[in-house]
A and B are shown apart, each in its own frame.
Chain A
Amino acid sequence: MGTVSKMSSRWSWVMNAVYIFVSICSFGVSGGLVQSCGYIIPESPLLTLGSNFTALCILNESCLDFGNIHASQIIWKIKSSVVPKEQYRVINRTVSSVTFRDTSTLATPLTCNVLADGQIEQNIYGIAVTLGLPPEKPENLSCVVRQMSKNKFIMTCTWNPGRDTFLATDFCLKSQWPLETLPDCKPKGVNNSCEISNVQFFVNLEVWVEAKNALGKAESEHINFDPVDIVKPLPPRNLTVSSGELPTVLKLSWENQIIVVEMELKFNIRYRISDSTDWMEVPPEDTASHRTSFTVQSLKPYTKYVFSLRCMKKDGLGYWSDWSKEKSGVTSEAKPSKGPPLWRKIDISHSPNSWTVHLIWKELDRSEANGIILRYEVTVRARPSLSRPPEKYSVNSTNLTLNLTNGTYDVTVTAHNRIGGSPPSVLLIPASNSKASVKDIKAYPKDGKLWVEWTAPDNSVVKYVIEWCMVSDSSDCTTEWQQELGTSQGTFLKGDIKPFKCYLITVYPLYTNGQGNGQSTKAYLQQSMPEKGPTVQTKKVGKAEAVLVWKPLAVDEQNGFIRYYTILYRTISGNETAVNVDPSKTEYTLSSLSSDTLYMVKMEAHTDEGGTSGPVFTFTTQKFGKGEIEAIVVPVCLAFLLSILLGVLFCFNKRDLIKKHIWPNVPDPSKSNIAQWSPQTPTKHNFSSKDQMYPEGSFTDVSVVEIEADDKKSFSEQDLKPFNLLKKEKNTSEGHSSGIGGSSCMSSPRQSVSDSDESESAQNTSSTVQYSTVVLNGYRDQIPSVQVFSRSESTQPLLDSEEKPEDNPGGGESATPRQQYFKQNSSQDETSTDGSHFERAKQVTPPINEEDLVGLTQLQISDHSSQPCGSGQEKNKPESALADVLSPSTEGQILRLETMGINTATVDEVPKSYMPQTVRQGGYMPQ
């Protein structure tokens, strides 16, 4: 039920609204024209801001009938904002009013609306409200008459129009004569000034401003004036400047642009030296009368001046004109007012008694030269003046070089122009600078210039000379100088002093009778950071320290005084460490560094203005310190040597044991049972002598093997042919003693070249050659695999008949290995290895048993171990070994043998039998 009731209520409200809307509309249309239900009075009011305002909304009676509307339902709105109902007042059934105490809260439009049926707001009427202010009284009215041309003047009056009125406001400049009203002047585009072109002088004019708008009008104060009293004339024109006879005056002439019947003028004249910006002014009282020319006095000779002037009404009423165009003129020349500053440079010439004096002087300033300097006259007087007459020179330049003998001189220089000469400048050149010099000289920048100051010496100084030059590595120190009065104790250097450059400044005091030594200091006008940093590098790098060296920065690169160096170093991953170093140093040692570490180091040079870094240098510290390697290596070496020494001593002490195991004794064939058995066995003493001839130890390695006579393996002649060929060839072989049982350690390798003839000659000479007997029998029933040569005691020369091939029944297939075996067991006592060996070998082919072979193999190993001391190149070279075996005895060998007396002993003790003996199978046939 409730819901149905609400639905019914809303539907009823909508229907009512539609009815009211239709009623209002039908009313408006019923008359044929659209009519509103009411209206507002006043219609479109113009209101003063801040004033009170009341509006009435009046409803039409007809609307009341249709819409059942009452004035109490009226709502006032400003734009879309509802005016508070406190400002409403229902006057009667059809009239509602709204009141605004301050119209500044108003805006347009102001509308009257009705709330139909208490819900729907319907606009009845609206008005536009205009707000504004009446004009204020214009203030500060003033006028000026500007001269536009000779006969044209325009009066411009300006005023303060006052506040904004928010309304269209007209301003009008009014003027009148006592009996006549002049035309109004209406501003164009502005509201605070107006121009009147028809200006009449000598008649008082009354001027005022009238401002008017919809809310009212206002009038300024009236001002009265004669327009001629407010004129700003045009400046004089056609100004000319001319010089007169006097060097200190210039005459100005001009043309006034206002006629004298209109007004008389007074003037201001200003002037300046052309290269100056400071104006000077002629006293105003001198130009207070009307004129067209004026002579300016007290000017400097031969100086260019610039002039300008302005004018105004003579009685001071009105305004000054603008300054006229500038015009320049030059005063006439006069004599130079002072002599040129004079100084000297003295070179010691080759002759000890003379000087080369360079007199130098400066050109006079323009203000001092008073004209164009044509020449300089120089007078040089020696002291005492009676010694010789003064010398005079006339020069056009500003220097003069003289060769003077040592002494004291007075030099005077005068400058001359077209008018005359200057007062002389005097310089005393003493024989020596024996006077007191200045003290405490300092130089520093001041006011953008370089200031040098000093403490004056006790004696009175006539003047000071300050010399300076820019110190540079790339150019010479070109000296500049200036003079200062003797009373001064400081001055700015006058010259082109450049920033970031080092200047050497020297101050000389000059006295009436001498000169003091110069005192010097260095200074910069402006310092900066150095152009670059020092390039650092290492001089020496140790384990924990590094000696850094660098070159001092050149003067041109310093840009200031180097106060200190900063050395920055770090490892790749470590923090940077900084060390400040005195700028006088060029070397520094970094300590406490880590060993075997890469360091990066750079250097900064610092002036007062900052520092600049040099390039980065990297270095690596050493792994070991100085002496550490020596401390390790030397003891190791010593220990090694000591162990070797001990080993050698041990070997020496145990040589018998070693010999027994390494070089076992080989039975002497001469002592064999066969020898003892043979009736032709040489006497025992022969063997004794042989013992003498072959000392023990050197002979122990001779092996005697038992050869079986029936061994078929013997060398045939064919097998030995190659050896004969080799013998006959002119060949190169190592002539070391490689005899049976010989140790290669005991022989020095030596190349020898010989041909067969020489070999034969050697054989012939060696008539006491011992021949080896080749025993091809196996030792202890072992079949030898190699051919073995055994030393023969025979001294009998070989016969040709014995070299027959048929005498060699054995085969020669294993000749090469046997030769190698032989070589390795050869004794140093072998004095001849000529072809007779092979001749003998052709006849003897004894078998060799395996036991012998084993023993020989051991010897071969022993020899191998000793090869480092001998000819290592020969190992594993059968052909080479063969060549050793086959090589004839060399001269060295022969000589050595002769020295040893071996052959002599043999010759003495062996019977004179030269028949070769042939050992047949199973037998030995001593001769």
Chain B
Amino acid sequence: MWVPALAEQPPVTLQHHNLCSHAILLAGKIRSNVARLLESYVERQGLDRTISLDSVEGVPGPAMEQGGELTVAVRLGANLQAYRALQTLLGEVLEEQGFHLTPLDMDFHASIQSILLQVAALAYQLEELLALLSHGRPAWEAAGPRPSQLV
């Protein structure tokens, strides 16, 4: 899980500040919720609790590992790309659970759906931040393809 790296250069405008603040809080909540969801997922799937999530196929590696050489915009773009990937993967998990694995476990589906929404919201906030930082460039275009739909 990655946390937006906004502490280095705080925005100067109130909008920027509020946006950053919301993004930080939302990222923290996503982290908490995802951790709880992971436990629930491992339990339902019968997986080993020691499963390593450090490297998942289709998910980019953390930008923090690349040191302070990257600019804020690049790092935000990498985060956005990662959350888009997470959003896609969560959509796939939800579809897989809803249609095949646990079609009757509505609470579990709701938990996945809740995180999916939060991830989508965080992605939007990151896009907004990138838009503020990248000179009016459309955030969605800079971040790559957008998930088709939020359920």
A190 at the interface (CB under 8 A from B): no
Question: Chain A residue with minimal CB distance to B22?
Answer: A202
B113 A198 Cβ-Cβ under 8 A? yes
B12 at the interface (CB under 8 A from A): no
The answer for the CA separation of A228 and B26 in the assembled complex, in Å, is 11
Which segment of A174-182, A265-273, A409-417, A643-651 sits at the interface? A174-182
Most chain B CB within a 10 A radius of its CB, from A180, A203, A259: A203
B32 A259 Cβ-Cβ under 8 A? yes
A261 B31 Cβ-Cβ under 8 A? yes
Known: A180-B150, A203-B121, A261-B32. A198 touches B110 (CB 8 A): yes
Most chain B CB within a 10 A radius of its CB, from A177, A178, A261: A261
Interface flags for A193-226 (1: CB within 8 Å of B; 0: not) read 0000010111110000000000000000000001
Contacts of A259 in B (CB 8 A): 32
B61 at the interface (CB under 8 A from A): no
A148 to chain B, nearest CB (A): 13
Contacts of A177 in B (CB 8 A): 121, 124
A261 B113 Cβ-Cβ under 8 A? no
B61 to chain A, nearest CB (A): 24
B25 at the interface (CB under 8 A from A): yes
B28 A261 Cβ-Cβ under 8 A? yes
Contacts of A202 in B (CB 8 A): 22-23, 25-26, 29, 118, 121
Contacts of A203 in B (CB 8 A): 22, 26, 118, 121, 124-125
The answer for the CA separation of A282 and B125 in the assembled complex, in Å, is 40
A281 at the interface (CB under 8 A from B): no
Contacts of A179 in B (CB 8 A): 124
The answer for the CA separation of A261 and B29 in the assembled complex, in Å, is 5
A691 at the interface (CB under 8 A from B): no
The answer for the CA separation of A127 and B128 in the assembled complex, in Å, is 59
B25 A198 Cβ-Cβ under 8 A? no
B5 at the interface (CB under 8 A from A): no
Known: A261-B28, A262-B29. A200 touches B124 (CB 8 A): no
B22 A226 Cβ-Cβ under 8 A? yes
A180 B110 Cβ-Cβ under 8 A? no
A336 to chain B, nearest CB (A): 54
Contacts of B80 in A (CB 8 A): none
The answer for the CA separation of A760 and B36 in the assembled complex, in Å, is 161
A179 to chain B, nearest CB (A): 5
B20 to chain A, nearest CB (A): 11
B117 at the interface (CB under 8 A from A): yes
Known: A179-B124, A180-B150, A261-B31. A201 touches B26 (CB 8 A): yes
Question: Chain A residue with minimal CB distance to B121?
Answer: A203
Question: Chain A residue with minimal CB distance to B33?
Answer: A151
A178 B124 Cβ-Cβ under 8 A? yes
B132 to chain A, nearest CB (A): 14
Interface flags for B8-44 (1: CB within 8 Å of A; 0: not) read 0000000000000011011011011100100000000
B29 A201 Cβ-Cβ under 8 A? yes
Contacts of A180 in B (CB 8 A): 120, 124, 150
Question: Chain B residue with minimal CB distance to A228?
Answer: B25
B102 at the interface (CB under 8 A from A): no
B114 at the interface (CB under 8 A from A): yes
Most chain A CB within a 10 A radius of its CB, from B29, B33, B36: B29
Contacts of B150 in A (CB 8 A): 180
B25 A200 Cβ-Cβ under 8 A? no
CB within 8 A of A198: which of B28, B32, B114? Answer: B114
Kindly identify, within residues 731 to 785 of chain A, every residue whose CB is under 8 Å from any CB belonging to chain B.
none
The answer for the CA separation of A177 and B26 in the assembled complex, in Å, is 14
A181 to chain B, nearest CB (A): 9
Contacts of B113 in A (CB 8 A): 198
A213 to chain B, nearest CB (A): 31
The answer for the CA separation of A746 and B25 in the assembled complex, in Å, is 154
The answer for the CA separation of A228 and B110 in the assembled complex, in Å, is 19
Contacts of B32 in A (CB 8 A): 259, 261
The answer for the CA separation of A262 and B29 in the assembled complex, in Å, is 6
The answer for the CA separation of A262 and B24 in the assembled complex, in Å, is 11
The answer for the CA separation of A580 and B25 in the assembled complex, in Å, is 91
Contacts of A200 in B (CB 8 A): 114, 117-118, 121
The answer for the CA separation of A261 and B36 in the assembled complex, in Å, is 13
B5 to chain A, nearest CB (A): 17
Q: Would you list the 3 A-B pairs with minimal beta carbon distance, nearest first?
A: A202-B26, A203-B121, A261-B28
Please list the residues of chain A having a beta carbon within 8 angstroms of any beta carbon in chain B.
Answer: 151, 177-180, 198, 200-204, 226, 228, 259, 261-262
A-B contact pairs, 8 of them (CB 8 A): A178-B124, A178-B128, A180-B124, A198-B110, A200-B117, A202-B23, A228-B25, A261-B29
Please list the residues of chain B having a beta carbon within 8 angstroms of any beta carbon in chain A.
Answer: 22-23, 25-26, 28-29, 31-33, 36, 110, 113-114, 117-118, 120-121, 124-125, 128, 150
Known: A177-B124, A198-B117, A202-B25. 12 other contacts (CB 8 A): A151-B33, A180-B120, A198-B110, A200-B118, A200-B121, A201-B29, A202-B118, A202-B121, A203-B22, A226-B22, A261-B28, A262-B29
